[in-house]
Amino acid sequence: MVLSNVHGFPRIGRRRELKFATERYWAGEASRGELAEAGQAIRRENWRLMREAGIPLIPSGDFSFYDQVLDVTALVGAVPERFRGAEDPYFAMARGTSEAPAMEMTKWFDTNYHLIVPELGPDTSFELSDTKPFDEYLEARELDIQTKPVLVGPVTYLLLSKPGEGAPEELDPLTLLDPLVEVYAQVIGRLGELGADWVELHEPAFVEDRGEPELDALRRAYGRLGDVHGRPRIAVATYFDHAGEALSALRDLSVEGVGLDFTRGGRNLELLREVGGLGGKTLFAGIVDGRNVWANDLRASLGLLAELRTRAEELVVSTSCSLQHVPVDVDDEPGLDEELKGWMAFAVQKLHELVTLARALEDPGEVARELDRSAALHDARRSSPRTRNPAVRERVAALGGSHARRQSAFERRRAAQRGRLRLPSFPTTTIGSFPQTADLRAARMALRRGELDEAEYERRMRAEVERVIRLQEELGLDVLVHGEPERNDMVQYFGERMEGYAFTDNAWVQSYGSRYVRPPIIYGDVARPEPITIDWITYAQSLTDRPVKGVLTAPLTMLKWSFVRDDQPEADTCRQIALALRDEVLDLERAGVPIIQIDDPAIREGLPLRHERWNEYLEWAVESFRICSSGVSEETQIQTHMCYSEFGDILDQIQRMDADVLLIEAARSRMELLDDWARTGYRGEVGPGVYDIHSPRVPSPEETADLLRAAARVLDPEQLWVNPDCGLKTRRYDEVEPALRNMVDAARQLRKELAPAPA
């Protein structure tokens, strides 16, 4: 019998139950026990869905109240000292407290999911400090469900870490491997005692370029775990790309199973051929895509599985990665028409794809109807006129070098923009959004339900724009924004006003903590039928004499934060979006908007995990930004914003984007980018974020000024802007107002200290 396996299931609940329960707990409106009950209800519903679908290898331990990497930090006792006295250390690590800044947050490999970065040092002491893996396994057993516990693997955990407070920057985290693995050995041994058949350890770090020290750590870790007495069978799962040089090491580990991704790691098949297969191991074949919403081409997958079956002792049909990256159920989407829904599979539908493929390997005739239906739907999608717009394709084909080049060099543009804007040194601004209050969300919901007409909705939004403009004037900000009250999401808002996109009502996925998004679905060629932001920005500018900037989302981020069509290269889709946004940029300039900010936080996140594809990706990613931004005159300032990724290794390419001002996250990482700026000699203007908006903490003026002083020691003070790390939509006004006031005070202090004296 061929088994089917799930690496993880969405943990947010069908109706975002986890979000609401968590936020009630944070607000003091619910107890820890009530939060625990909400989590238990979600886990039990997930296990029931997988059991009823016929999945034999059901995960436990994949549920998290915030982040699976943070769960390991709690499990192994690696809680930084500053959180040990907190009322709830787990959430304090993620969100910070009034006394202790939160731990750093970054992207989970090349996804839009954010992890909480472990902080380790030479004195870190690991010990088993939580019972979560055992509790959840036993909880499922009480329901007569045998699960397969899953856990982030020890080597990936260490490779994701950073030196903690007081630790040397050159700390090699792999020096901590042996004591960490001893805690994992306790976990695995205990799970074996409880009756687990399999335990699955996730090591996605081994789809990145790895050298012998990391491969040796992998062998050492699993050599020890393989020796645990009475242990379950161990599967080591990789995903998001091919295993490359690690495949031989994985094949030789003292474990029973290896998971490989055959959706984003297509070269894994070639590698298996090269090494002669996995020998006596079980191959967990990641054939159902855990990262996108398109239905599986079952017949094509069966052909691949037929060969994979010859490359291992036993074959398990698996998701490529955890399904936490896709929505729960396409049947919860009444707004999608039947044709589009037929092309899609969310988490629930992917369960049925797994089971169908496993059954087809045993007897294709048993599922012939499902195979025929899959083939017919894929044929219909390929031939549908909804996916192709000849005018868009002609426009992309006509692109030339002039479309991606500014009219003059940066130094000349800088002089022209300074003459137009007449800003002080250390100019202050924000990233774009202001808090989305309950009243704003209620108005948007009332509009969707038809309880509020367009005219009244617009009146309320304009009133909010005026309130935000007046607040910024009172706070003393130099470059203002309209606050984005009318926008639901930085990608969805623009996608809803373009052709080629589809949208959902309930297709939420977790970005971080209780922050969930509904990614748009790009199914066809993209075009902008009419202007999107002009009326809002020009209205805001009419209210003030200070410059108000227009804020757009860059083409690459529009692409990466959507579920992208898989029937053409991503580069082609990105160029289509770039041309649509170029039209919006030019309309803003014609309307007299002096500064246009084009946010591109996804550019580093989208970087391929293997260096072999970096140059190709960066070429079209940078080109797409420049297509979008380069049609304006030298007087119009182009800003861009980036956050919550490691940008140091692509600063040269960021400079090639040729934006005039780069606003970038730096507060949460305490200005770690400074060395990279010094190394690359970044010549543009820079706003290193000085206020971590993902924490409720309000930094003092002196704390903010210290960050600016650190930046001014590396960059010319005349290059520096002052701004938060990111947009403010998720914060409350009672946090935002004092933080921005302190930020403005710090900028004024630095002007006195560091600005050049007038000639």
Point out the residues that are catalytic: 694
Gap between the Cα atoms of 277 and 742, Å rounded: 60
Q: How many CB atoms lie within 10 A of CB 105?
A: 23
Contact (Cβ atoms closer than 8 angstroms) between residue 740 and residue 475 = yes
What is the sign of the dihedral through the CA atoms of 212, 71, 237 and 115? negative
Tokens of 394: 């002609």
Residues in the chain: 759
Contact (Cβ atoms closer than 8 angstroms) between residue 315 and residue 302 = no
Q: Please report, for residues 292, 458, 553, the alpha-carbon distance to residue 482 in angstroms, rounded to integers and kept in the order given.
A: 33, 14, 15
SS3 294: strand
Gap between the Cα atoms of 198 and 191, Å rounded: 9
> Distance between alpha carbon 728 and the CA centroid of its chain, in Å?
18
Please report how the helices 454-475 and 438-449 are oriented relative to each other, as an axis angle in degrees rounded to 10.
160
- Best CA proximity match to 619, nearest among 649, 647, 650, 596: 650
Q: Which residues contact 117 (CB under 8 A, 6 or more apart)?
A: 69, 103, 104, 105, 106, 160, 161, 162
Q: Which residues contact 533 (CB under 8 A, 6 or more apart)?
A: 550, 551, 552, 584, 588
Please report how the helices 347-362 and 298-308 are oriented relative to each other, as an axis angle in degrees rounded to 10.
50
Gap between the Cα atoms of 17 and 616, Å rounded: 41
Gap between the Cα atoms of 391 and 338, Å rounded: 26
Element (H, E) at 753: helix 733-754
Please report how the helices 68-75 and 132-142 are oriented relative to each other, as an axis angle in degrees rounded to 10.
110
**CA geometry: angle at 348 spanning 344 and 353, to 5°?**
70
- Best CA proximity match to 633, nearest among 413, 402, 423, 420: 413
- Best CA proximity match to 257, nearest among 203, 312, 194, 192: 312
Tokens of 722: 């002052």
Q: Please report, for residues 5, 232, 234, 356, 515, the alpha-carbon distance to residue 250 in angstroms, rounded to integers and kept in the order given.
A: 19, 18, 12, 28, 35
Measure the CA dihedral 64/181/241/625, to 10°.
Answer: 70
Gap between the Cα atoms of 188 and 202, Å rounded: 14
